Structure 1
């Protein structure tokens, strides 16, 4: 029997942030991504929720021996749920799970910001795996861009922050400009290292 797999649709698309492999591009039908501001953390999480007709690109990778402990710890605050409707290039059909923030954890969290260092990691992954067209699909298939974006690039709060090439930074910045996202100085938000998703 083959190892179970996870479907990653955010930071897990960036292969620099984990050691799982081999990875394979995949698409999860019937879901959309969204930035979720909850009481769980001072900054917004990227999550996925079931939406009829939705689809998100991502990666699948095996979890050796079905030992989910390390990945579950990384994804604290999320539920690991079965993912159906995953299109991939494997010649077999392993069980696949996706991490999603349960709606019951939503609350009056206000405009908790998106960490720019977190978004940078996600978009870098999409650029590397899917190219600019795929990174544009990431922005188009993700909701709640009305949340402010906290610029923490100089001192990243995201624990798996990566160095971006100038072209990658320009790509992120231009797409945020296109979306009209409000930028805030991270120092004004009061966020600390406990903010990181």
Structure 2
């Protein structure tokens, strides 16, 4: 994995906390890729790649008909993202943020972490729980304010090449796009920089997304 500038300075007490068993790690492949959405005082963050998963927009009936960005097992596939090192005390808050997901463990041989600051720390990944009800795919929508946060994160960490790879290798972009950019419904929405809205829209519309105004 190519060395790039650090995403964020490591907490000076990281090694000491790890030795005390107080550090947890989780792999982010969606909004967690954008540090601006993180609400815990994390200890370190690294670019990473996980093997054997495919990103997918999952229609959900239980989430107000909003499609969730999730992963599903897919041999031969690789997804880019980040590994966040956090205090184990913060894990309940992360689980609450990912309330519609199940936390699972990534086998060590299925993840590569750029300049990993710690060895032998278990890394978790969040997969959406199965929907007991049949979701109406035609009625579900991707929240644009959420998607903006995800795409900005990939652009910042992996450049435009990584951003395009995220769009091209994520299944389900044919889902409707709820255009809430002006009045964001996503609670951790981000401010876009000049040109980002146009770039993001061009990429997702090329994949078949169709925006609609919620007003």
Do both proteins adopt the same fold according to a TM-score greater than 0.5, normalized to the shorter chain?
yes
> Is 1:29 matched up with 2:51?
yes
Question: Is residue 26–residue 83 contact of structure 2 (8 Å, CA) maintained in 1?
Answer: yes
Does the residue aligned with 2:112 lie in a helix, a strand or coil? strand
Indicate which of 92, 98, 106 corresponds to 1:83.
106
Query: 1:132 maps to which residue?
Result: 160
Which contiguous aligned blocks of 4+ residues in structure 1 show a shift greater than 4 angstroms?
none
Question: Is residue 38–residue 105 contact of structure 1 (8 Å, CA) maintained in 2?
Answer: no
Q: CA deviation at 1:145?
A: 1.0
CA distance in 2, matches of 1:150, 1:104: 21
Query: Structure 1 residues 83-92 or 144-153, which shifts more?
Result: 83-92
> Is 1:103 matched up with 2:150?
no
Question: Is residue 151–residue 200 contact of structure 2 (8 Å, CA) maintained in 1?
Answer: yes
CA distance in 1, matches of 2:81, 2:105: 15
Question: Is residue 14–residue 126 contact of structure 1 (8 Å, CA) maintained in 2?
Answer: yes
Q: CA deviation at 1:21?
A: 3.5
Residue 49 to residue 161, structure 1, CA distance change in 2 (3 Å): same
Point out which structure has higher relative CO (alpha carbons under 8 A, 6+ apart).
1
Question: Is residue 45–residue 84 contact of structure 2 (8 Å, CA) maintained in 1?
Answer: yes
Indicate which of 26, 38, 49 corresponds to 2:60.
38
TM-score relative to the length of structure 2:
0.82
Deviations 1:11-43 (A, max 9, x none): 000000114231100001000111111122121
Does the residue aligned with 1:54 lie in a helix, a strand or coil? strand
Count of paired positions: 187
Q: CA deviation at 1:66?
A: 5.6
Query: Structure 1 residues 15-24 or 53-62, which shifts more?
Result: 15-24
Larger radius of gyration: 2
| Unaligned runs of at least 5 residues, structure 2 | 1-18
